[in-house]
Chain A
Amino acid sequence: MQFLNLEAKILEILKYLNIKNFRLAKEYNEMPVDIAFVEGTPTTREEVLKLLTIRKESKILVALGTCAVTGGVPGLVNMMAKKEAMEVYDGFPPDVPIDPKPLEYYVNVDYNIYGCTFSKDELIELITSLIIGKEYRDKEYSVCVECSLRENNCLLDDGHLCLGPITRGGCKALCPNNGKMCLGCRGPYEDANIKGHIKILQDMGFTKDEIIESLSLFSYEKFKEVISWLKEE
């Protein structure tokens, strides 16, 4: 949907790209395509098959938004016993569910656009790179970088459970700019010192449970190992 929120920009993009398939905005949809943007993550067998078809029928596959990139909030269900999760629908889930995983678990993903909701600026950046043939690179630094460039007061200093130091930058520190701690919606970046940050949070007085809850909100699938390590610590 953020695509439609590009508003003025979308007209410019349409000069270079044709929209062949967009279920939320078009009546007639076709495949194959050059670039497929996939939002969300499969939670049923059918959806997995659909994802495999999309991969086969597209040259470039982009995981769009947190659910697609890290498994996101749906991934939280992997923390609990299946039986417990089924209770949500009175024991009658709409379909036989499977564990929500990041798209990369099923198919090769060419590019990731992070965030919940993902950043429109980064989407434009990717599209621009694809059009002019420039390399698009993931940000390999944390939210703290963009936050301190804006001379913000550190929310960790104020005693908030902020995930800035381990969360991938690129959002221009939207939440900390507005005095809200980083919830980690963009997931961890490759170089994140997660154990180091857990130590900082523990020294600040946060309990294991509080830290685990905060880590799993958006990226349980990515933090799984560190969470089980923390539980045993």
Chain B
Amino acid sequence: MGVKIAKNRVNEFLKYLKEEYILYAPVEENGVSKISKIEDTSDIINLPYRTQISLKPIFFPPEQKFFRFEKKNGGVEIEDYLPQEGDDKSIIFGVRGCDVNAIEVLDKYMLDEFEDPYYRKRRENAIIIGISCDYPKESCFCTAFGGMVPERYDLWFTDIGPHFYVDIGSKRGEKLIDDKFFEEASEEDEMRKIRRINSVETKINRKVKTNLHDIKKYYHKIKNRADDSIWEELGRKCVSCGKCNFICPTCHCFDVKDMTNIDGSAGERIRVWDSCHLYDYAKTSAENFREERKARVRYRIYDKFVFPVMRYGVYACTGCGRCSEVCPAGIDIHAVVRRLIK
């Protein structure tokens, strides 16, 4: 049986968490909604759906300094910035299902085959408190992948009127349940929760009408369309701005640069996000193997629906619809996929 929390006690609960944890929650900065570190819980905004910026920058920032180097006494001295990354425990509140699923995908890239210690340090100590959406955004299509409640979370909130129904998904989550704020939920509350989630998912589904659950089948279908004329058409539209890559919660490509002083005797190594839509992304000493724009557009779609399936058995798209939302040329990933599986 789950528990529930009265809506007017949530703020107190967050304040209580903030005493021990670093708290992240949805805020609005310069007109852009994102999930940021909270100084004052009154800054938290209540959105009925996901934020514009995903969780990705919290664990994998756009620009990250690795270390500083300096030539000294005939050798090179290196100061690693990894120890400076705090071990502090953090709680991320108000995350939506698409973002939780996305971070699980990102974990596969960053922690599975190749381990990124900078990412691990931030990710390991993060507790996730998610929340069901009240209604979808124009571009949302999470139901195509299985709905808005993810498989794994620590706590999961669902609006059931005067209360939030709270599902407990892990030991870490369970420890946060304090009698001061939470009360036992009844069977009726649980039914309300189920009805609530169903009604929102039905709303999304009515609009989406796509079902990609059968991964094997659809991955083959999409893979077989590599020579389709659709790529030519999208290649003409796309302006290679890279916005879809940067906004995507699972895109993880980066470039590593050394920024030195004028004579190269000291400097810093930094990692900066990169985008597969850019001309020089696939440029090598021999050739540029994705010189044509249509090949780059195809690559991104394939790197969401084909290659990750081959490597990890999952899609790297969770239906958040952010790329469709930001694309200046109006390329809608959901519409593209729908055409591909027809």
| In-complex Cβ contact of B238 among A140, A149, A193 (8 A) | A193
B336 at the interface (CB under 8 A from A): no
* Contact partner, B239, options A149, A190, A193, Cβ 8 Å: A193
Given A144-B241, A154-B326, A200-B329, does the pair A149, B279 have CB atoms closer than 8 Å? no
- A12 within 8 Å of B (CB atoms): yes
| Contact of A166 with B239 in the complex, beta carbons under 8 Å | yes
A140–B283 Cα gap in the complex (Å)? 11
- A212 at interface by CB-CB < 8 Å: no
Asked if B162 is at the interface (CB within 8 A of a chain A CB), the reply is no
A120 interface contact, C-beta 8 A: no
A16 pairs with B262, CB closer than 8 A: yes
Chain B interface: which of A31-39, A84-92, A126-134, A219-227? A126-134
State which size class the interface on A falls in.
35 or more
- Is A20 among interface residues, defined by CB-CB distance under 8 A? no
CA–CA, A142 to B241, complex, Å? Answer: 6
Nearest residue, chain B, Cβ from A138: B280
Q: Is the CB of B262 within 8 A of A127?
A: yes
Contact of B262 among A128, A142, A153 (CB under 8 A): A128
Which of B57, B241, B247, B275 counts the most A-chain CB atoms under 10 A from its CB?
B241
CB nearest neighbor in A for B53? A151
B202 within 8 A of A: no
The residue among A16, A128, A145, A165 with the most chain B CB atoms within 10 A of its own CB is A145
B232, chain A: closest CB distance, angstroms:
13
Q: Which residues of A contact B30 (CB under 8 A)?
A: 152-153
Contact across chains for B262 and A124 when beta carbons are under 8 A apart? yes
Are A153 and B278 CB-contacts (below 8 A) given A148-B243, A165-B328, A193-B293? no
Per-residue contact bits, chain B 324-338, to A (CB 8 Å; 1 contact, 0 not): 001011100000000
Determine whether the beta carbon of B280 is less than 8 Å from that of A141.
yes
Q: Which residues of A, 1-40, contact B by the 8 Å Cβ criterion?
A: 9, 12-13, 16
Q: Are B62's CB and A200's CB within 8 A? A: no
Which chain B residues border A74 with CB–CB below 8 Å? none
Q: Is A210 an interface residue (CB 8 A)?
A: no
Q: Which residues of B contact A144 (CB under 8 A)?
A: 239, 241-243, 328
**Which residues in B have some Cβ–Cβ distance to A below 8 Å?**
30-32, 34, 53, 57, 62-63, 236-243, 246-247, 260-264, 272-273, 275, 278-280, 283, 293, 326, 328-330
Knowing that A128-B264, A131-B264 are A-B contacts, what are 10 other residue pairs whose CB atoms are under 8 Å apart, sorted by A's residue number? Answer: A9-B262, A124-B262, A128-B261, A137-B280, A141-B280, A145-B241, A151-B32, A157-B326, A192-B239, A199-B237
